[in-house]
Amino acid sequence: MAAELPSSSESGHEMEMCSTIDSSFLQGSGSESSEFSQSRNEVSSYSGQNEDSNSSSSDTVASKKFKRSKEDKICLVCGDKALGYNFNAITCESCKAFFRRNALKSDQPKCLFQNDCLIDVRTRRFCPHCRLRRCFEVGMKKEMILDETERKARMQKVAMNRQMKQKHPQVGEIIIKQEPVSISIEATSSMPDTQSGGDEKTTFPTVAFGNSQPLILPTLTPDTVPKDPKMYRILKTEEKMLVEELSVAYVETLGGFANETHVNKEESYSSADELVNNSEIAVRRLIKFVKKIAQFRGMSQENQVACLKSCVLNALLLRSVNFYDAENDAWKTPTGSIPTSVLKHATGFNDLHDAHTSYCAGLKKLTRDDSNIMALIQTITVFNPDGQNLENRQTISDIQDQFIQLLRHYLESEVSFMHSQLFFSNILQKISELKGLGEDHARILLQINSNKIEPLMLEILNLQ
């Protein structure tokens, strides 16, 4: 189906888009900044070759030509000695800190004079208003200040690294956990139930669309879980690190914090095309996620694009699991929950919506929001050797195998050799169901009026 890249001009475009998107995210924003134009590249070329010219029109700043040889960078705000770029302008440390503290404040102090105070290294403290104004004039960008979420993610990463380093010395023994069951699931003899009285033992993944068999889940209770440490795999350090990395990448980008109400507005939609457009942010996150995967970065651009395109729907579907509230059969949104039934009718694709929600319910039950597992599943779906237009399927298959194995090992380390088998096969089954679900969605997407869809989404979904 679906043609392929809208030919030449655009296809080159896309990767470019990816990288811009990526860097725009790197820069923070958090709230999708619409123009992700300039970024580090531009910045660095600027510093690399000097060339003032652009930047803030106004260049009262002394010394136009700071050919930084090394030690002569000058703060564009106050003229103090500068270290380098801070928030997109060369500034000293104090102006950097000043900007960080003040740029986001809503109630700025007023200037007591004429809004034109001289700002230099001595006077910079006197008028915060003019100092801040100056900061913006010289091109400092408040979007580059990390927002709450990003800061948290960063801190989390730091903490995790620290922890990891600490562990490193004695790799041998810390691995066995006290309670090996981070994922606990009780056996459920799930029948294709429709909607029974609706408490949690009910829903199981009976995807109406694809041919899915009900899963039989392992019984993991304190009694059935092996006590003997030998029943658990000990992950190699690299494996642990890899899982950790993926998980962090996942949480930072696609996952959000499982229990937190960190939900984004793009998850709420009321019609199918809106859904697609609202997924744009999610797509950017996906891009950001995959770019954190070394194996992905290692592929050719063509393969990267093809991979991305072929997994995008599946990835979005997978991600939606995070926003599914199984208890209430609702979608979590920033403004509260929306019962799935509401959306189901709003979108007008009832069956598909049912399939989708029951898929989410099932997967959620299976993974119990374990971000390690979700991250692995996401990764596995990214490297899908079956995608369209792939130039090197074998490589992709090999990479996928790596992660499949990693998943298996991870499960063995978490739930024991004994239980991991069933677990593993269940997860694989969910992954393969995803394919059908994705295709069903794709089919429907094709019916959507394409001029209502944003260009990025058109392109990435091959809707043109």
The residues that touch DNA, with contacts defined as CB under 7 A, are 26-28, 40-41, 43-44, 47, 80, 83-88, 92-98, 100-102, 124-125, 128, 144-146, 151, 154-155, 157-158, 161-162
**CA dist 126 → 92, 114, 262, 441 (Å):** 17, 13, 39, 60
Contact 209, 351 (CB under 8 A): yes
| H/E segment holding residue 102 | helix 93-102
Kindly state the smallest distance separating residue 456's Cβ from DNA, in Å.
Answer: 20
Beta carbon of residue 201, minimum distance to DNA (angstroms, whole number): 40
Q: By the 8 A CB rule, do 347 and 448 touch?
A: no
Q: Least distance to DNA from the beta carbon of 81, Å?
A: 8
Residue among 47 and 392 whose Cβ is closer to DNA: 47
Beta carbons of 246 and 425 less than 8 angstroms apart:
no
Nearer to DNA, 142 or 368 (CB): 142
Closest contact distance (angstroms) between CB of 162 and DNA is 6
Residue 125: name the closest of 84, 87, 77 by CA: 77
Nearer of residues 81 and 230 to DNA, judged by Cβ: 81
Other C-beta atoms lying within 10 Å of the C-beta of residue 365: 21
Shortest distance in whole angstroms from residue 239 CB to DNA: 18
Residue bearing tokens 């890899």:
242
Residue with tokens 């003019």: 130
* Beta carbon of residue 460, minimum distance to DNA (angstroms, whole number): 21
**CB nearer to DNA: pick between 97 and 112:** 97
Cβ 21 to DNA, closest distance in Å? 12
Three-class secondary structure of residue 333 per DSSP? strand
Mind giving me the DSSP string for 3-66? --S-HHHHHHHHHHHHHHHHHHHHT--SS--S-----HHHHHHHHHH---SSS-S----S-S--
Nearer to DNA, 148 or 199 (CB): 148
Which is closer to DNA, CB of 290 or CB of 363? 290
C-beta of 121 vs 281, nearer to DNA:
121
| Contact criterion met (CB below 8 Å) for 25 and 150 | no
